[in-house]
């Protein structure tokens, strides 16, 4: 085996060699192969890949940051594996010497420190990503991390069976969203709703049932669709709770005494008017 100081001298000679017009990537691969043969494979040291930010949605940018190595690097290679696949697919390689990425005309970009920038995320970017680094002594280090891209959520819609309800009746609120996998939460007067004994939720939290409605249940209700990277809240729906003895909402409502007297007087006046009209008609006919 060639000592490390000999390897280092060869690295210096290679890095100082004039560019002869050939393909620099070709020379990089040749040199990396030679150095790899000189070194014994090692797995004692690995790299760490950290997505920043940790939670991302469609349209966001993410950087897969490479951590865990402070030496001099020769090259980086990035691989990806989709859910359900058994093997990695090489995406891109990066030459530290020439600051060159191959292929260059793709959306993903390798930064000088080896980190991978993925802009304008789509759902299909949900994969496991692996970086492979070769240092100047031919040592190969690897590391990886999963990346989940969440849906960009649409505004949910809230509906209720009645916005003006009587005490002790039951209330059903429904939250509809076009995002099938979204979580649903409920808000009351702009605060997260704490369920009590009269409240229940159904259908993955999309239906909120309140039994035996009380005056304190009156107020503003909203539902929220959310995932770890995004949240969208519905418009506010204002609920009014009336007393069960309220005349305008009572099924067995009765008229007040004054209202009854008014109806009687109206009926009597109508009868009197009709009688007078009949009398006039009879008198005119008799006079002929």
User: Which residue reads 């696949």 in tokens?
Assistant: 85
Q: Phi then psi for 244, rounded to 5 degrees? A: -65, -15
Q: Does domain 157-242 have CATH number 2.60.40.10?
A: yes
What lies within 8 Å, CB to CB, of 7 at 6+ separation is: 35, 38, 39, 136, 137, 138
pLDDT, one tens digit per residue, over 175-197 is 999 999 899 999 999 999 998 88
pLDDT, one tens digit per residue, over 71-102 is 899 999 999 999 989 899 999 999 999 999 99
Confidence check: pLDDT of 147 > 90: yes
In angstroms, the CA 25 to CA 94 distance is 9
In angstroms, the CA 207 to CA 174 distance is 5
According to DSSP, residue 3 is labeled: -
Angle at 193 between CA 192 and CA 195, to 5 degrees: 145
Confidence check: pLDDT of 277 > 70: no
Burial class (CB in 10 A: 0-12, 13-18, 19+), 55: middle
Percent of the chain at pLDDT exceeding 90: 62
DSSP 11-61: HHHHHHSPP-SS-HHHHHHHHHHHHHHHSPP--SS--EEEEESSSEETT--
Average pLDDT, the chain: 78
Query: Strand, coil or helix: what is 189?
Result: coil
pLDDT, one tens digit per residue, over 158-172 is 999 988 889 999 999
The residues of the chain that CATH labels 2.60.40.10 are 4-150, 157-242
Confidence check: pLDDT of 18 > 80: no
pLDDT top residue among 25 and 83: 83
- What is the token pair recorded at 210? 């309140």
Contact 140, 33 (CB under 8 A): no
Q: What is the mean pLDDT of residues 190-210?
A: 94
The correct CATH number of 4-150 out of 2.130.10.10, 3.40.50.280, 3.10.690.10, 2.60.40.10 is 2.60.40.10
Q: Identify the weakest region by mean pLDDT among 10-24, 46-60, 104-118, 235-249.
A: 10-24
Q: What is the pLDDT of residue 243?
A: 82
Q: How many helices (H) and strands (E) does the chain have?
A: 3, 21
């Amino acid at each position: 085996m060639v000592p490390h100081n000999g390897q280092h001298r060869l690295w210096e000679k290679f890095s100082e060699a004039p560019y002869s017009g050939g393909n620099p990537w070709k020379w990089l691969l040749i040199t990396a192969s030679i150095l790899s043969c000189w070194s014994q494979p090692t797995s004692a040291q690995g790299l760490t890949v950290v997505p920043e930010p940790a939670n991302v949605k469609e349209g966001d940018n993410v950087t897969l940051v490479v951590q865990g190595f402070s030496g001099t690097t020769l090259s980086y290679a990035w691989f990806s594996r989709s859910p359900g696949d058994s093997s990695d697919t090489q995406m891109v390689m990066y030459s530290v010497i020439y600051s060159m990425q191959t292929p260059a005309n793709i959306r993903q970009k390798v930064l000088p420190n080896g980190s991978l920038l993925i802009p304008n995320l789509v759902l299909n970017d949900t994969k496991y990503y692996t970086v492979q680094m070769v240092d100047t002594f031919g040592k190969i280090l690897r590391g990886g991390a999963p990346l989940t891209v969440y849906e960009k959520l649409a505004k949910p819609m809230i509906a209720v069976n009645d916005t003006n309800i009587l005490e002790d009746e039951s209330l059903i609120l429904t939250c509809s969203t076009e995002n099938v996998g979204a979580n649903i939460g409920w808000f009351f007067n702009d605060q997260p709703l704490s369920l009590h004994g009269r409240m229940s939720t159904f259908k993955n939290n999309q239906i909120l049932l309140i039994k035996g409605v009380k005056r304190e249940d009156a107020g503003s209700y909203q539902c929220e669709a959310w995932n770890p990277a995004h949240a969208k809240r519905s418009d506010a729906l204002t609920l009014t709770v009336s007393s069960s003895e309220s005349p305008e909402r009572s099924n067995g409502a009765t008229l007040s005494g004054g209202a009854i007297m008014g109806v009687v007087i109206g009926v009597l006046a109508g009868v009197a008017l009709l009688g007078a009209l009949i009398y006039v008609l009879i008198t005119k006919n008799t006079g002929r």
